[in-house]
Every structure is written in C-alpha cells, then in structure tokens.
Amino acid sequence: MKRFAQLLIFVVAGSGLFLFFQTKNDVRIIQLAQTSDTEVEKPVIKEKAPNDHDDIAPQKKLDNPPEVIKAAYATGWTAGGVQGLNRMIELIKNTELNAIVVDIKDYSGELSYRTDIPQVEEYSGNRELKILRPNAMIKKLHDNGIYVIARQTIFQDPVLALARPDLALMSSTTGKQWRDNLKVMWMDPAGKETWDYNILIAKDALARGFDEVNFDYIRFASDGNLNDIKYPFWDEKTLKRYVIRDFWKYLRQSLPDAKISADLFGLVTLNYGDVGIGQNIDDAFHYFDAIAPMVYPSHYQKGFDGYSNPAVHPYEIVYRSMSEANERLRHYMINAANSTSTEYYLVKKPQLRPWLQDFDLGATYTADMVRAQMSATYAAATGTPAGWMIWDPSNKYTKGALLAE
C-alpha cells in the first residue's frame, strides 16, 4: 500500500533527541543525539563519599504542596553541588516556579546517590556519586518551600543491562546485549524483575522525602536495528501498548499512595495508537497523577500544521498539542467519575503537566518564546489545573520568561 507522510516531529525525550516520522500506517522513530553530562558543569566535590552517618535522617513530604506544579529540571550534578543547588533555589524563590525535578537515575542507569538497595550497589557500587547527601538536599529544598520531584529513567539502563544480561535486549547477530544507534543498552519492557528493580529505587526515593517520582524512558526502544533485537520476555505478539500499560498499572499498584508522573513523547497528544513504542496517553491517565508530554516546538518538522519553521511558533505548536490532550483528558475524567473498576481509572483526576522548551534549537529561544508556551498551556487547559515543567539540559534558565514572585 502506498504510504503518505503525515507528520515529522523532533522530540527531546529525557536526554535524547528523536525524529518522529509518521506515515499512514505507522510511526518510525530515529534517535539523533543524546545529551551527555559533559554539557552540564560538574561541581568539584572534595567531600568523601557518604556512608550511613554522613547524611541526615529521611525527610517528611512537603507540607501544603502546590496544587499546580511549575518546575525546572536539574541534573544530579547541579542539584548535588552547593553552587548549583543554591542557584536553582534562588531562581525558584524569586519567580513563579515552585518545584524542581532532580535526576536520581538518568539515561546512564547510574543512581545519583548511595542507597541501601543491595542490587543497586552490587551493579554499580563504584559509580561517581553526583549527590552526596540526598536527604540534606531535600531538607534544604523543603525549607525553602520547594516541591521536590525525583526523575528516574526505566528501560534505557546500561548499568542493569551489563549486570543482568538475562533481562536485557539481546542482539540476534552477536549474541550480546543489543545497542541502539548511540550504543546504549536497553531492558526488555516486559521483564518483571526490571519492574521490581525500579520500584525499589522509587520506594527508596519516596522514603527519603521526595514528594513525587517522575518516570522517563517508560517505553520500548525506538532506534537502531530493531529487527536484530531478541526479547527475553516479550512474546512479540502482545501489543507493545499492552506491555507498557501493564507496567504502568504495576507501578500504580506498587506505589498506591505515592505521587507519580510519566514523561511521554509529545506525539502521543495527537496519535491514538502507541507511536510504535507502547505509549498511549489515554492509558497513562489511568495510573499517573500527572502526565508530561514533551511538546518542544523546535522539534516539529517543517510543514507541520503548515508552518515552515514550527520553532518560531511556540504558542501555536504547544496549543495544538495540549488542546488535543486536554480534550482526551476531559473524556477520561467523565468516565472515571462513574467507574468502580479496580483495574482501570485508578487515578480519578490526573493532571497534564507538559515539558516546555527553554533551550535553543531551530531558533534562538527568547523569553517571549518560552513564555508563549506557558500561555498556550493555560489557554488549552479549559479550566483544569495547568502546570508545566521547563527543560534545559544545562540548567541555565531564562529568568525573563518567568513571572516574578
């Protein structure tokens, strides 16, 4: 059957840059680049690695957390350094921001701090620690009235893949761990041991006092020689969407009282399938308190909605994506209000909280362009709470885009 190109979108997903090519029959995703820690200034840490006596006691959750979250992203290096953390606190205290998203486990698979989880320390005990005293970091943020979100990547995990190849995607050609175009290793999303490993990490973060856990890379691998993948658990017959949905349900059932959120590709707001990676926004509504589509305008390809350069139309691009997402959320909430299911509609009033762009790509992003995305988010919300999170891999944010406190 002849295929017609409908949509071509670039998306930054967590630490990666992706090209979405949607045809009449499917969606192909190619990973183009990956943000490395070399783009972020690493603080000089002269302290010794912590042991059980170096950090303070676990913290309580923030009293009176904000109903609408307005957050900025920080790497483990930024949040773990004195200067970096102070810089983020100063930004948040002097603007409308009220929350921070801190990497606790990024695309490398390494945890930012020491834990008491045997598997974590066995698999990567010699890692370089980015956050020496996580509990003290949380206390300092809470003392300043800041809501603290832990960002945790899931299925892109080279550390776990090396330590547990029996859980990882394997190459049919080499018999070794499969690698994507950037030579990064992945886990089989259908592997329950991988689910349990990550839930242990999330529970540890919540016990420390993190107010929420934000999950990223909750999907199938999308680039590289996908035909070479050998899955140890997925039967390749069950729809990818159902595999990911079952994982999301397992997360919610394992963390029943926790605040949890999910990062999804921006394309899910407009697509009713699973964009080839298992993600469907209607499924996510059932299990997460907040859903975060990554709707960065600069990554929508020339011609999207008739724009020769969507990057210079931040309001229009975000409004289009979030309007569709909010309409789908509205229908979900009508059904959820009347449901007594113990399998679905486990979250009655989920929120949409998109990732917005504060970095230069496709255009030099000004304060007005960053602000336009926030305005579009509000306009698309149609009366429901409308938060957002801003992303810059270097954590150097445009203060002029943020309203003064």
52 inside domain: yes
How many structural domains comprise the chain?
Answer: 1
Q: What is the CATH number of the domain that holds 40?
A: 3.20.20.80
Tokens coding 318: 């975000």
pLDDT per position as a tens digit, 78-126: 999 999 999 999 999 999 999 999 999 999 999 999 999 999 999 998 8
Identify the domain containing residue 136 by its residue range.
7-401
The whole-number pLDDT of residue 378 equals: 96
**Nearest CA to 294 among 304, 305, 279, 307?**
279
pLDDT tens sequence across 333-346:
999 999 999 889 99
CA angle at 361 for the pair 360 and 362, rounded to the nearest 5°: 125
Q: Dig out the tokens for 125 from the structure.
A: 């005990």
Query: Would 284 be classed as within a structural domain?
Result: yes
- Is 2 contained in some domain? no
Quote the CA–CA distance of 178 and 169 in Å, as a whole number.
5
Tokens representing residue 206 in the block: 């919540």
Residue in the block written with tokens 């490398």: 108
Instruction: Report if residue 142 sits inside a domain.
Output: yes
- Rounded CA-CA distance 403/97 in Å is 8
On whether residue 320 sits in a domain, the answer given is yes
Selected residue with higher pLDDT from 5 and 245? 245
300, part of any domain:
yes
- pTM of the predicted model as reported, rounded to 2 decimal places: 0.90
In a domain, 380, yes or no: yes
pLDDT band per the 50, 70, 90 thresholds, residue 299: confident
Q: In this structure, is residue 1 part of a structural domain?
A: no
The values of phi and psi at residue 311, to 5°, are -60, -30
